Amino acid sequence: MTTELDRPRGFDALGLNPSIVAAATALGYEEPTPIQSAAIPVLLAGKDVLGQAATGTGKTAAFALPLLHRIGAAHDGERHVRAFILVPTRELAMQVAEAVHKYGRELHASVLPIYGGQSMHQQLRALRRGVDVVVATPGRALDHLNRGTLDLSSVEYLVLDEADEMLDMGFAEDLEAIAAALPTTRQTALFSATMSPRIKALTKKYLHDPVNVQIAAEMSAAGKTARVREVAYIVQRPYKAAALARLLDMEDPTSAIVFCRTRTEVDELTETLGARGYQAEALHGGLSQEQRDRVLRRFRENTSEILVATDVAARGLDIEHVSHVVNYDVPSSIDAYVHRIGRTGRAGREGAALTLAEPREQRLLQNIERVAKRKIRIESIPTLTDLRERRLALTRTAVEDALHDGDLSKYRTLVESLAAEHDLIEIAAAAIKLADQGRSDGEREEVEIPTVAPRAPAAPGKERNHKGTRARGTDGDVAKIYIGLGRSAGVRPADLVGAIANEAGISSRAIGAIDIADRFSLVEVPAADANRIIAALRTTTVRGKPLRPRRDRLT
């Protein structure tokens, strides 16, 4: 059964609790998005939903508003986990939990995010008090189930959000174990950006006669990105910040959004750009709502010129004047790429989408090109000579503007006195030299950025394998990380993939071979990211035990 997508109507026409409609209105929602118009009435009717829609289409409200309607309609004063939402990453867990809290504030619904890296004691205390809605990552949810600290027997409403990403991260076994602890009479909503055979198999296993709600991907809209210039630059990781600064100097954007994978990367890059003289602001899930509103207000008012953001924090942004979008890393999925570049080139304007790709990420670029059925032009990072020529061009434009504006009379006396002693051409050259130096005062440190040649597509069947445990395509230099847990602790490849992807913000596709021994494990990761991964894993547990990560001493 497939729904027909009607024209969007107001939220009050969907049958939602008036308190929920009021909350949505107060948050600035004027009318439902297509996924909300299609999914909310079906979920309110108690039917299972299989939703396919890209990031940024309003999926969270599509499942959260009817979820809260049900909780508000039958709240008995006791706190049981009546709605359970599974998401792939802790960033998304925080984002979804915050959204549910805001939508359900008038209903006094209690919401708890559960994810790795957060204090287990804090989560246990909240669970003992009782909550209505739990938003969890699979690994931490399974930890609680194994401890007996998470009771899902009262769950009426299950949501699997970004289900394709959960499968990509190796959580299929965790999903099975979690589903076994849920009532079979529950209502289930599954949302995915793609409908792969694995998603269809998941649907058959966990959904009952679902209504299919499919929203056309942004990529399929004719001419959607025709006015967006898409360019990629191959650059080694240590030079990415310098390369970004060089591009910003060359492009001179009106306003730009720079997308990063993790909040740590957002904070570090924002600080780096600020030190280089840019007016940059950070936007991620770690900010309070008041801080987010302040950041977005400054960006909308052009008080700040660059917004450095995570994908989750930038969902739903509708800012028309964004001239440039920069992918500081290559997005791991076509939907994330489309959502990002959709922030520019709006309302018929021209825009630019720039991607900084490490040598090992070229395979991801090729995958985006293949699915999108168009080329992303690869160019070299501008050289110092290019940058100097650009500055001179800007100086020339400024001088021409001054000549056209006129009103130079108060400067003529000075020029005439200088002309009595010097050649006019020399005087003009000296003036332009001063203007150019003034333009470059406080310029960022000028670093020579090594040129990296684009790599040809890899021949099929060349993926690495390590003892046949788990093969993944790792391009470029790799490092092995030693993990102080192994088979005897119940560790599986999916546990390690999930921990690295969640805590360090590394794409699951970038993780190489995993070898699990009885008392330890070895994981291949991109060498450039090894130290960051080790630092992130030092505060992480798997199955309640510390990982004790370090570089493998035998490699």
pLDDT in tens, the chain (555 residues): 444 344 445 788 888 888 888 888 777 676 787 888 899 999 999 999 999 876 556 788 899 999 999 887 555 567 889 999 999 887 788 889 988 998 988 888 899 999 887 778 888 998 998 999 999 999 899 999 999 999 999 999 999 998 888 887 788 888 999 999 999 999 999 998 778 888 888 999 999 999 999 875 544 333 444 478 899 999 988 889 989 999 998 888 888 999 998 888 899 999 989 888 888 999 987 888 788 888 888 888 888 889 999 876 666 566 767 889 999 988 866 767 887 887 787 655 678 999 999 887 787 788 788 777 778 899 988 888 887 887 787 778 778 777 877 778 888 888 888 888 888 888 888 888 887 766 554 444 456 677 665 655 444 333 333 333 444 444 457 888 989 888 888 888 888 888 888 778 777 777 888 888 878 888 988 888 888 899 888 888 888 788 889 887 655
**What per-residue confidence (pLDDT) applies to 316?**
56
Residue 430, C-beta contacts closer than 8 angstroms, at least 6 positions apart: none
Angle between helix axes 59-73 and 18-26 (nearest 10 degrees) is 140
Dist. CA 17–CA 6, nearest whole Å: 21
Q: How far is CA 239 from the centre of its chain?
A: 22
CATH match for 11-216 among 3.40.109.10, 3.40.250.10, 3.40.50.300, 3.90.1150.10: 3.40.50.300
Dist. CA 212–CA 189, nearest whole Å: 10
Q: Where are the alpha helices (DSSP H) in 107-196?
A: 120-129, 138-147, 163-168, 172-179
CATH match for 478-551 among 3.40.50.2300, 3.30.420.40, 3.30.70.330, 1.10.10.10: 3.30.70.330
Tell me whether strands 133-136 and 111-114 are parallel, antiparallel or unpaired.
parallel
Q: How far is CA 526 from the centre of its chain?
A: 20
Tell me the three state secondary structure of residue 105.
helix
Nearest CA to 505 out of 475, 529, 471 is that of 529
Nearest CA to 80 out of 187, 152, 188, 149 is that of 152
Which residue spans within 402-453 are E strands per DSSP? none
Dist. CA 282–CA 263, nearest whole Å: 9
**What per-residue confidence (pLDDT) applies to 386?**
81
Q: Where are the alpha helices (DSSP H) in 309-349?
A: 334-341
* C-alpha torsion angle, residues 131, 132, 136, 140 (rounded to 10): 40
Q: Give residue limits of the domains in the chain.
A: 11-216, 220-382, 385-432, 478-551
Structure tokens given for 29: 């929602």
Enter the DSSP assignment of 2: B
Tell me the three state secondary structure of residue 70.
helix
Enter the DSSP assignment of 527: G
**What per-residue confidence (pLDDT) applies to 472?**
43
Tell me the three state secondary structure of residue 529.
helix
CATH number of the domain at 220-382, please?
3.40.50.300
Burial of 320 per CB tally in 10 Å (0-12, 13-18, 19+): exposed
Which residue spans within 284-345 are E strands per DSSP? 306-310, 324-327
**What per-residue confidence (pLDDT) applies to 339?**
77
Which residue spans within 236-363 are E strands per DSSP? 256-260, 280-283, 306-310, 324-327, 351-357
Q: How far is CA 421 from the centre of its chain?
A: 62
Return the biggest CA–CA distance within the chain.
96
546, 481 contact by CB (below 8 A):
no
Query: What are the respective helix, strand and coil percentages of the chain, to the nearest 5?
Result: 45, 15, 40
Nearest CA to 69 out of 52, 51, 46 is that of 46
Go through 16-43 and write b for each residue having 16 or more CB atoms within 10 A of its CB, e for each that does not. bbebbbebbeeeebeebbbbbbbbbbbb
Dist. CA 322–CA 515, nearest whole Å: 45
Dist. CA 496–CA 547, nearest whole Å: 9
Q: In what order do the strands lie in the sheet with 521-526?
A: 514-516, 521-526, 478-483, 550-551
Name residue 248's amino acid: L
342, 370 contact by CB (below 8 A):
no
* C-alpha torsion angle, residues 187, 192, 196, 197 (rounded to 10): -20
Residue 28, C-beta contacts closer than 8 angstroms, at least 6 positions apart: none
547, 483 contact by CB (below 8 A):
yes
**What per-residue confidence (pLDDT) applies to 47?**
95
Same fold, 11-216 and 220-382: yes
Which residue has 């370090």 as its token pair?
550
Kindly list the distances between the CA atom of residue 530 and the CA atoms of 57, 356, 379, 551, in Å, as whole numbers in the listed order: 34, 19, 28, 8
Name residue 232's amino acid: A
